[in-house]
């Protein structure tokens, strides 16, 4: 029994050391691994051939440039590791990635396992449908197939809404956002429920963007943030300091305009999503509040 307790205590202690040493890990290894998404709208996406870009990836590159200076490295090797909605938190916890630069909602449940930098984007969860579908509201999804992405908060929102209104629909799950959009595009689903910017980003990259539209009620307003390991205050502060500096200088607003209001690769199309008042408020008042604090307003 005592040996078991000792082993458990040692494991906890080693885990704590691992969790609190991201800056040291970066300095000692001369490298850092960024968790990236392959199809998270303009926030984080792949260009193919191991190349990734987007609003959050640019923010993270700025963060890591400042970290490089902070730890005194002449060179920092930044590696990209694709993650999914399902594995992003485990890969951060086990050290596979050091920072997650995707499209993750900051909520109270996740805060038990990870930490979040200050909010960089406040999302509205909406519905994408085919433009000729005649669907304009949640109530019209009764009897329909609705796509969403495995491991996202949209799944929870769908279920809550179904219980509240009695709308009966079948959920189809894509392994990532591109897969979920394909369910809509191919006609296997009549709607795709997800963060508005992810919907807009996938529509912008579709063969015929005019064939799709975003409709219906806003299901949720959610703070999206860059994720770091829990109980690592020094690294979180380094990340926050850079982002808050970008907010104060106006750099983050310029980056937003670049990725959401201007033509972006690979198809040179515009997402066309104006920064919401909630997003502007988050930039003016930096915070790492979870989605639950938004629901109380």
Q: Residue 113: CB partners within 8 Å, gap ≥ 6?
A: 89, 93, 230
* pLDDT band at 162; cut points 50, 70, 90: low
Superfamily, domain 123-221: Periplasmic binding protein-like II (3.40.190.10)
Predicted local confidence at residue 164, as pLDDT: 60
What is the average pLDDT score of the chain?
Answer: 90
Cα 156 from chain centroid? Answer: 16
User: Under CATH, to which class is 29-122+223-295 assigned?
Assistant: alpha beta
The pairing of strands 51-53 and 44-48 is: antiparallel
More confident residue, 94 or 124: 94
Domains of the chain by residue range: 29-122+223-295, 123-221
Distance CA 65, CA 71 (A): 10
Q: Is the peptide bond before 266 cis (omega within 30 degrees of 0)?
A: yes
Fold matches, 29-122+223-295 and 123-221: yes
Per-residue pLDDT tens over the stretch 221-271: 899 999 999 999 999 999 999 999 999 999 999 999 999 999 999 889 889
Distance CA 63, CA 56 (A): 10
Q: Is the pTM higher than 0.85?
A: no
- How many distinct helices (H) and strands (E) make up the chain? 12, 12
């Amino acid at each position: 029994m005592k040996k078991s307790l000792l082993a458990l205590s040692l494991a906890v202690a080693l885990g704590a050391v691992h969790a609190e040493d991201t800056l040291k890990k970066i300095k000692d290894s001369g490298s850092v691994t960024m968790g990236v998404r392959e199809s998270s709208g303009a926030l984080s996406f792949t260009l193919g051939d191991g190349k990734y870009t987007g609003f959050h990836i640019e923010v993270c590159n700025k963060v890591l440039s400042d970290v490089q200076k902070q730890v005194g490295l002449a060179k920092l090797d930044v590696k990209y590791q694709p993650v999914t909605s399902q594995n992003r938190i485990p890969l951060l916890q086990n050290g596979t990635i050091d920072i997650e630069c995707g499209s993750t909602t900051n909520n109270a449940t996740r805060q038990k396992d990870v930490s979040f930098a200050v909010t960089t984007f406040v999302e509205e969860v909406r519905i994408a449908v085919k433009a000729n579908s005649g669907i304009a509201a949640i109530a019209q999804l009764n009897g329909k197939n609705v796509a969403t992405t495995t491991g996202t908060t949209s799944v929870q929102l769908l279920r809550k809404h179904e219980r509240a209104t009695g709308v009966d629909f079948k959920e189809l799950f894509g392994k990532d956002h591109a897969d979920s959009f394909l369910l809509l595009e191919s006609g296997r689903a009549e709607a795709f429920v997800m963060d508005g910017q992810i919907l807009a980003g996938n529509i912008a990259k579709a063969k015929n963007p005019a064939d799709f539209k975003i409709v219906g009620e806003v299901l949720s307003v959610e703070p999206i943030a860059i994720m770091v390991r829990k109980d690592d205050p020094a690294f979180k502060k380094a990340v926050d300091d850079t982002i808050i500096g970008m907010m104060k200088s106006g750099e983050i607003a310029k980056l937003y305009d670049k990725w959401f209001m201007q033509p972006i690769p690979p198809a040179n199309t515009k997402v066309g999503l104006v920064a919401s008042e909630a997003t502007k408020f988050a930039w003016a008042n930096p915070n790492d509040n979870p989605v639950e604090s938004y629901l109380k307003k």
